[in-house]
């Protein structure tokens, strides 16, 4: 029997890869996932899901996946790959493949002492359910890391009227994601909402016996806590590939067509270190890049099996965050110099310039503007053109709080 296309990793990138592989031909497609859950949407886990009841929707029901002809192997963590034999090792089995798509994503980084009860990362549905339960119980919350996950958890705590402290080692939130100028503006969002943001502080240790009771900072400050959420970034899930012979760097190294160092293996999503035709080597952890890369890797894997041409990944990076009822959106990358337009309270726009080109755009409460800049980025427009566009229509004024 002809070997199937095997997709390992059953989140967004893996699901889109499996769907695309099925659409591209009549070959069998097997989707292997470590978690027991059907593929589910992750952005809501740190946003709407922390505020309201109910599971975030699965992308597809089991019946829909069966109709698409996707064979599911859930609760089956991959442990290795035999490139020479073309077999995936997962759940104690060897699964032969004609082509393999690696979409194992990323996992949350941890602090020492994180095993105490009441201390959580926020990456999976199970993590988010535990954080939500603690917030419902009115937990005094300390968030470690003022990145997007941490900031969204702080937002959820404040929306419930709970006191929350955010500890960040850098001098401002999101500094790596948006650059220094914009990060200063993001600081205001926390302050306006009553979040106690402490930047420039490291965590010395977590205190508690069995259950966490406090976070102790490197300057000796002791922050009492019943819930600690650790949002200090994610690392690509490549441990299971160590020693396989696959080229690994910051993730699975692949070309602009998402093919890895092995011609029968492709990569997509958070785990993929992609040679982007515009941005150079990037590993993106965004919803849209996972969706786009997944679909492309699945289609390319089938195309290559048929000897047909493959396509390049040219997607423009895009992420969004919902904080305290405000919307942040970023397209492109925060490279080079930043030009800031708009009042500090928002709506505001930051344009990033690399040489004479537009590199990225970040907007607060500008849902009607940001995609115009994405269009400019996709055709490598000059910075001057972006600035003209930004100035041609005055930024909307913030509606009075009701």
One residue of 367, 384, 388, 391 binding other proteins per CB under 8 A: 367
For residue 65, give every residue at least 6 positions away whose Cβ sits within 8 Å of its Cβ, in sequence order, or none.
Answer: 31, 38, 72
* Binding map of other proteins across residues 295-334, x = CB under 8 A, - = no contact: x--------------------x-x-x------x-x-----
Q: Is 100 buried (19+), middle (13-18) or exposed (0-12) by CB count in 10 A?
A: buried
Residue 105 within binding range of other proteins, rule CB under 8 A:
no
> φ, ψ for residue 38 (rounded to 5)?
-60, 155
Shortest Å distance, C-beta 295 to other proteins: 8
Residue 274 within binding range of other proteins, rule CB under 8 A:
no
Shortest Å distance, C-beta 287 to other proteins: 6
Query: What helix, strand, coil percent values describe the chain, rounded to 5?
Result: 30, 30, 40
Rounded CA separation 237/61 (Å): 26
* Contact between residue 47 and residue 152 where contact means Cβ atoms under 8 Å apart: yes
Shortest Å distance, C-beta 332 to other proteins: 12
Shortest Å distance, C-beta 377 to other proteins: 10
Rounded CA separation 10/190 (Å): 34
One residue of 287, 336, 345, 398 binding other proteins per CB under 8 A: 287
Span of 67-75, 152-160, 258-266, 364-372 interacting with other proteins by CB under 8 A: 364-372
Cβ proximity to other proteins: between 170 and 371 the closer is 371
Shortest Å distance, C-beta 26 to other proteins: 20
Residue 266 within binding range of other proteins, rule CB under 8 A:
no
* Contact between residue 341 and residue 396 where contact means Cβ atoms under 8 Å apart: no
Shortest Å distance, C-beta 59 to other proteins: 8
* Binding map of other proteins across residues 36-75, x = CB under 8 A, - = no contact: -----x-x-------------x------------------
Residue 364 within binding range of other proteins, rule CB under 8 A:
no
Rounded CA separation 304/355 (Å): 37
One residue of 62, 191, 192, 375 binding other proteins per CB under 8 A: 375
Rounded CA separation 400/402 (Å): 6
Rounded CA separation 12/59 (Å): 8
Three-state DSSP at 75 gives coil
Would you tell me which residues interact with other proteins (CB under 8 A)?
41, 43, 57, 287-288, 291, 295, 316, 318, 320, 327, 329, 366-372, 374-375, 378, 396
């Amino acid at each position: 029997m002809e070997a199937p296309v095997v997709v390992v990793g059953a989140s967004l990138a893996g699901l889109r890869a499996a769907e695309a592989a099925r659409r591209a031909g009549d070959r069998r497609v097997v989707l292997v996932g470590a978690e027991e859950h059907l593929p589910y949407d992750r952005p809501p886990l740190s946003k709407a899901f922390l505020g309201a009841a109910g599971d975030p929707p699965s992308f597809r029901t089991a019946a829909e996946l069966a109709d698409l002809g996707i064979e599911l192997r859930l609760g089956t963590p991959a442990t290795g790959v035999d490139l020479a034999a073309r077999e995936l090792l997962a759940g104690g089995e060897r699964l032969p493949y004609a082509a393999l798509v690696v979409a194992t994503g990323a996992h949350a980084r941890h602090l020492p002492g994180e095993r105490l009860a009441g201390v959580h990362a926020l990456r999976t549905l199970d993590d988010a359910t535990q954080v939500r339960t603690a917030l419902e119980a009115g937990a005094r919350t300390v968030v470690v890391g003022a990145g997007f996950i941490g900031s969204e958890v702080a937002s959820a705590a404040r929306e419930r009227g709970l006191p929350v402290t955010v500890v960040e080692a850098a001098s401002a939130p999101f500094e790596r994601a948006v650059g220094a100028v914009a990060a200063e503006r993001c600081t205001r969002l926390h302050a306006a909402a009553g979040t106690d943001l402490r930047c420039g502080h490291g965590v010395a240790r977590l205190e508690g016996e069995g259950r966490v009771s406090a976070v102790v900072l490197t300057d000796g400050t002791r922050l009492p806590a019943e819930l600690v959420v650790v949002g200090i970034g994610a690392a690509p899930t490549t441990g299971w590939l160590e020693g396989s012979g696959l080229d690994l760097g910051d993730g699975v190294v692949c070309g602009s067509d998402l093919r890895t160092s092995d011609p029968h293996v492709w990569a997509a999503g958070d785990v993929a270190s992609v040679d982007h035709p515009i941005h150079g080597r990037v590993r993106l952890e965004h919803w849209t890049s996972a969706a786009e890369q997944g679909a492309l890797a699945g289609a390319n894997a089938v195309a290559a099996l048929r000897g047909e041409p493959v396509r390049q990944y040219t997607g423009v990076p895009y992420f969004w965050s919902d904080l305290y009822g405000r919307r942040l959106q970023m397209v492109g990358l925060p490279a080079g110099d930043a030009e800031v337009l708009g009042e500090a309270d928002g709506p505001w726009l930051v344009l990033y310039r690399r040489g004479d080109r537009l590199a990225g755009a970040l907007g607060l409460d500008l849902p009607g503007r940001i995609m115009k800049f994405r269009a400019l980025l996709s055709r490598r427009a000059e910075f001057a053109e972006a600035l003209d566009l930004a100035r041609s229509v005055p930024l909307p004024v913030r509606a009075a709080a009701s």
